[in-house]
């Protein structure tokens, strides 16, 4: 299993323009919920919906001039003996 830092690096690299929507979709199970910036949720029932949704998001980022997502001061903490990391 990869470290949390490697996981985040893989995830953010998938978003670098041009975004790799197929790779992004691999980080999500279906069904799943995503939280939007306005605090609303989007339900994604299938992997096809996951890909379409993140394709829309990637295109929105590109139009807005967001070239690469990043996390600042990322730290990880185990939250119990059965935690993944």
Instruction: List average pLDDT for each run of 10 residues in the chain, which is 85 residues long.
Output: 83 89 95 92 97 94 80 75 70
Instruction: For residue 64, give both structure tokens.
Output: 């807005």
pTM: 0.76
Instruction: List the helix and strand counts (H, then E) for the chain.
Output: 3, 2
How many residues are given for the chain? 85
Q: Name beta bridge partners: 34.
A: 42
Query: What distance in Å separates the CA atoms of residue 25 and residue 77, rounded to the nearest whole number?
Result: 25
Q: Name every residue whose Cβ is closer than 8 Å to that of residue 54 and which is 6 or more positions away in sequence.
A: 19, 21, 24, 25, 28
């Amino acid at each position: 299993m990869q470290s949390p830092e490697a996981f985040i690096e893989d995830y953010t690299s998938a978003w670098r323009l041009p975004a790799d929507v197929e790779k992004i979709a691999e980080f999500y199970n279906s069904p799943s919920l995503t939280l939007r910036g306005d605090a609303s949720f989007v339900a994604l029932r299938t992997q096809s919906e996951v890909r379409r949704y993140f394709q829309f998001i990637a295109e929105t980022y590109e139009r807005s001039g967001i070239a690469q997502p990043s996390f600042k001061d990322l730290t990880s903490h185990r939250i119990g003996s059965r935690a993944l990391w």
